[in-house]
């Protein structure tokens, strides 16, 4: 599951009951082919 963060600056992803956050700017650059990979941050909070 993926959703936009409350501020609109991040993309939240839930993978196997773990929450990850990626900056929207980085996702766009990867999708446009300007970058090959981007940082993904794991969070200790349980997803809603």
> What's the mean pLDDT in 38-46?
80
Alpha helix (H) residue ranges in 1-48: 24-31
Contacts of 29 (CB under 8 A, 6+ apart): 35, 38
Structural domains of the chain, count: 1
Give residue 37's domain range.
2-42
Identify whether 48 is part of a domain: no
In a domain, 10, yes or no: yes
Confidence band, pLDDT 50/70/90 cuts, at residue 25: very high
Q: Is residue 31 part of a domain?
A: yes
Per-residue pLDDT tens over the stretch 5-19: 999 999 999 988 889
Q: Establish if 11 belongs to a structural domain.
A: yes
Residue 36 lies in a domain: yes
Do the domain assignments include residue 47? no
Contact 27, 36 (CB under 8 A): no
Provide the CA 1 distance to its chain's centre, in angstroms: 11
* Res 24 pLDDT > 70: yes
């Amino acid at each position: 599951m993926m959703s936009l963060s409350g501020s609109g600056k991040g993309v939240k992803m839930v993978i196997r009951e773990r929450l990850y956050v990626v900056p929207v700017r980085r996702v766009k650059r990867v999708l446009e082919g300007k970058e090959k990979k981007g940082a993904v941050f794991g969070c200790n909070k349980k997803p809603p």
